[in-house]
Amino acid sequence: MAGSVPPAPEFGDTLPVEASPEVVAFLARRRSASAMTLTAPGPDDAQLADLLRLAARVPDHGKLAPWRFVILKGAAKDAFAERIAALADSQANPTKAKAALRKLTNPPVCVAVISRVVPGEIPEWEQRQSAAAVCHQMLLAAAALGWGANWITDWYSYDPRATAILGLAEGEQVAGFLYIGTATEQPQERVRPDVAALTRLWSPT
């Protein structure tokens, strides 16, 4: 694994806006690892705390922290998976639903990122986007620290019985299950969109 994570800056510290060729090289090549192939070891408690601290350093309109984390690991994760598995037969495609559970059972550590909405003037859409940013930042931080990681939702993010087992309150949604562990397979580059075809230079008409 990579070295230790620098301590959190103090409030009001001046933070540099500076080029980081190493980060650019990392972004140009990083990939998610297949969740089913993640195995132990995963991050220990101190490493996980660092990971969450890095993941939480995201844009957040209104500084609301409209998200929270549920950690699943060890025997508790096994118990969670068992209770979720009991719901697989009632899914539209039980065979597929059961097969997907290997993404939940194989990796040693899972962080469920829960999107919550704080009442007030900041639109819900923006608060949900901040939760998505947390998921992606966690993916990046995990990979930068040498872990394999994958952002998954799957059916148990949407089945209300499953989200009740996870402990979600009214209005909360699963932004993602972030599966983290040791990658046993190196990912290959996947198809990427034609960014130029998705890009327009706006001009007045």
Ligand X SMILES: Cc1cc2nc3c(=O)[nH]c(=O)nc-3n(C[C@H](O)[C@H](O)[C@H](O)COP(=O)(O)O)c2cc1C
- Considering the complex, what minimum distance in angstroms separates the CB of residue 108 from ligand X? 18
Instruction: Report the alpha-carbon distance of residue 166 to residue 83 in Å, rounded.
Output: 10
3-state helix, strand, coil in the chain (%, to 5): 40, 15, 45
- Considering the complex, what minimum distance in angstroms separates the CB of residue 1 from ligand X? 20
Q: Is residue 112 within 8 Å of 70, Cβ to Cβ?
A: yes
Q: Which amino acid is at 106?
A: N
- 45 Cβ partners below 8 Å, 6+ apart? none
Q: Is 176 in the site for ligand X (CB under 6 A)?
A: yes
Q: Is 150 in the site for ligand X (CB under 6 A)?
A: yes
Query: Could you tell me which stretch among 15-23, 61-69, 107-115, 147-155 binds ligand X (CB under 6 A)?
Result: 147-155
Nearer to ligand X, 29 or 63 (CB): 29
Instruction: Report the alpha-carbon distance of residue 116 to residue 99 in Å, rounded.
Output: 29
- Tokens linked to 28: 């140009």
Q: Is 154 in the site for ligand X (CB under 6 A)?
A: yes
Query: Could you tell me which stretch among 1-9, 62-70, 82-90, 144-152 binds ligand X (CB under 6 A)?
Result: 144-152
Q: Is 31 in the site for ligand X (CB under 6 A)?
A: yes
Nearer to ligand X, 119 or 134 (CB): 134
Nearer to ligand X, 63 or 192 (CB): 192
Query: Could you tell me which stretch among 46-54, 108-116, 146-154, 166-174 binds ligand X (CB under 6 A)?
Result: 146-154
Q: Is 153 in the site for ligand X (CB under 6 A)?
A: yes
Nearer to ligand X, 5 or 132 (CB): 132
Residue 146 gets the label, from left (phi > 0), alpha (psi -120 to 50) or beta, of left
Report the candidate in 114, 149, 154, 153 with the shortest Cα–Cα distance to residue 134. 114
Q: Is 67 in the site for ligand X (CB under 6 A)?
A: no
Using CB atoms within 10 A of its CB, is residue 121 exposed (0-12), middle (13-18) or buried (19+)? exposed
Q: Is 151 in the site for ligand X (CB under 6 A)?
A: yes
Residue ranges in contact with ligand X by CB under 6 A: 31-32, 150-154, 176, 190
